[in-house]
Structure 1
Amino acid sequence: MSGGQCAGADRFQYLQALVTEFQDTDRIGGICNLCLDKAMKNHILSSGGLSLIINCLSSRREETVLSAITTLMYLCTASSRAEITTPPVVECMVRFSLSENRRFSNLAKIFLEDYCSEQQVEAARSLNQHTALGIPLPKD
């Protein structure tokens, strides 16, 4: 492996370790704060971090899901918006917006209003099942 490939692998392992910590702890809002740093934001986006964070939307831990939504909002840029607002993610946010849990519903509504087009939201709302392609709704 060349030095560049090794560094890329190390970055991915570091990012994976952050996501694992993010999933395994009740208090890791730190990844949200980490994205506020421009260099870290670029690092997360360039290292395949979005898919790892999107996977956290299926966590059974309320704090993990809330942090994942917030992190996705912080990572949204002109170049990352399309990857963040894919149909499964938008449908997931529609489901969260219908939750009786006010924290989920409020944050999801902000995501839908600020980061998604009206067409994306309508397409997600028009689906009858709101299954989010395997992304389960966390327990209220």
Structure 2
Amino acid sequence: MFSSKSYLERKTGPYGVGRLSYLQSLVNEYQNTDDDDAKTQIIGNLANFAYDPINYEYMKALNVLDLFLDGLEDPDDKIVEFAISGICNACNYPVNKKHIIDNGGVKMVINCLSRPSEDTVLSAITSLIYLICPETKTEIVSLPVVECMLRLSKAKNPKLKNLATIFIEDHCDPSVVVEAQKIQQRHFHIPSTVSS
């Protein structure tokens, strides 16, 4: 459910902590803590706030998208998982989408396709679908990405399988799909043994 400003004001009351102040405290704590568990919890909370457009103005003021982009390159897989979740929640909004694209986010999201967490990969695929536009299409539906999607379309996890299939069917040029299939066939080709 999306929130309205009047709903947030009623919920917070005249003496409560406002949304901007609360998000500011989360960002400050994330940036100042050395506790990895706390960082993970905080970026997860920020990712949850990224789904609601009412928060986008606050997120922009606090550079939360930059925090998510930085999180995509963190060595901790849980930080990456929550960072890509935040990107996924926010990137369908045009201003956020532009910010992600302008700051090298497409490449970082593509890199998330090879992470071990299935949730990270699901959020990365969804983010790439939202980030496709004339400016990014060549990079997002490039041969290496299509080849990766073909592999994911054979995953045991039905969510991965279905989302990768949708990506291929809705966004990929058939000639690139054929080329990716040929590469996979060459890569996985096992020559038959000929006995003399």
Check whether TM > 0.5. yes
Change in CA separation of 1:44 and 1:87 when aligned onto 2, cut-off 3 Å: same
Percent of pairs identical after alignment? Answer: 39
- TM-score, normalised to structure 1, is 0.76
Q: Any stretches of 5+ residues in structure 2 without a counterpart?
A: 1-62, 189-196
**Unaligned 5+ residue runs, structure 1?**
1-9, 131-140
Change (3 A) 1:117 1:106: same
Between Structure 1 and Structure 2, how many residues are aligned? 121
Secondary structure in 1 aligned to 2:116? coil
| 2:68 and 2:87 in contact (8 A); partners too | no
Which of 152, 162, 165 aligns to 1:106? It is: 162
Q: Of 54, 75, 78, which aligns to 1:24? A: 78
CA contact (8 A) 1:11 1:47 kept: no
Q: In the alignment, is residue 71 of structure 1 matched against residue 124 of structure 2?
A: no
CA contact (8 A) 1:72 1:84 kept: yes
Deviation, 1:12, is 9.3
Q: Report the Cα distance in structure 2 between the residues aligned to 1:12 and 1:66, rounded to whole angstroms.
A: 19
Rounded to whole Å, the distance in 2 between the matches of 1:11 and 1:31 is 10
The answer on whether the counterparts of 2:149 and 2:164 sit within 8 Å (CA) in structure 1 is yes
CA-based RMSD of the aligned residues comes to 2.5
Helix, strand or coil for the counterpart of 1:122?
Answer: helix
Mapped partners of 2:107, 2:73: distance in 1: 13
| Structure 1 counterpart of 2:132, one-letter code | C
Contact conserved, 1:58 with 1:65, CA < 8 A, in 2?
A: yes
Normalising by structure 2, report the TM-score: 0.56
Task: Indicate the structure (1 or 2) with the bigger Cα radius of gyration.
Answer: 2
Check the 8 A contact 1:66/1:104 in 2, yes or no.
Answer: yes
Counterpart mapping for 1:36-115 below 5 A: 36-115=92-171
Letter in 2 for 1:51: K
